[in-house]
Homo-oligomer: A and B are copies of this chain.
Amino acid sequence: MDSLKPIIESLLFASDTPLTVDNIRAVLETGDRRSIRAALESLARDYDTQKRGFFLSEVAGGYQLRTRPEYRQWARRLKKTKPARLSRAAMETLAIVAYKQPVLRSDIEHLRGVDCGGTLRTLLERGVVRVLGRKDLPGRPLVYGTSKRFLEMFDLKDLNNLPTLKDLQEIGEAWPNDST
């Protein structure tokens, strides 16, 4: 296990996508799931207690090293990231796709009360939404769902990890921000 840790760390470090326990097992050939998991947990603890610049994120069914959110301003400056965040309209459309998938464009538009062609296209281009197939209805409309990229982008372990939709009575007075 002592030798496993740096090896697994080097794999996480070298990978540009999240690694599953099975990915790691395939590379190591030996190594049971349990000790891989233990090594991962131990690494995650190290990063936290030693206050490293990155942490181990459990995302999209796997594990990935990511810079700590508290250093976002520095990392952003380094990467010269433009605020390519999704617009509020795109976020709403994405939330509907995430929670209601498999979903038709017409369902989304019915819910939002506005045309969603533009925002859907943006989401498809960004790779967070994908075409799942077609529905057996007149016109054979496309059915949409979220992609793995969606999980990666929003730091979600899997779709079950989406917070449950809130009960409005519980929220009471707290209104979501509107555009005014």
Contacts and interface: CB of A to CB of B under 8 A. Distances in A.
B13 A67 contact: yes
Given A53-B8, A81-B23, A161 B133 contact: yes
A6 interface: yes
Contacts of A157: 133
A121 interface: yes
Residue of A13, A19, A142 contacting most chain B CB atoms (<10 Å): A13
Interface size class of A (residues with CB under 8 A): 35 or more
A68 interface: yes
A178 interface: no
B10 A71 contact: yes
Nearest to A81: B26
A86 interface: no
A22 to B, nearest CB: 10
A78 B172 contact: no
Contacts of A167: 142
Nearest to A46: B50
12 contacts: A7-B71, A10-B71, A10-B72, A13-B75, A17-B82, A19-B78, A27-B78, A121-B171, A130-B155, A131-B163, A134-B161, A142-B163
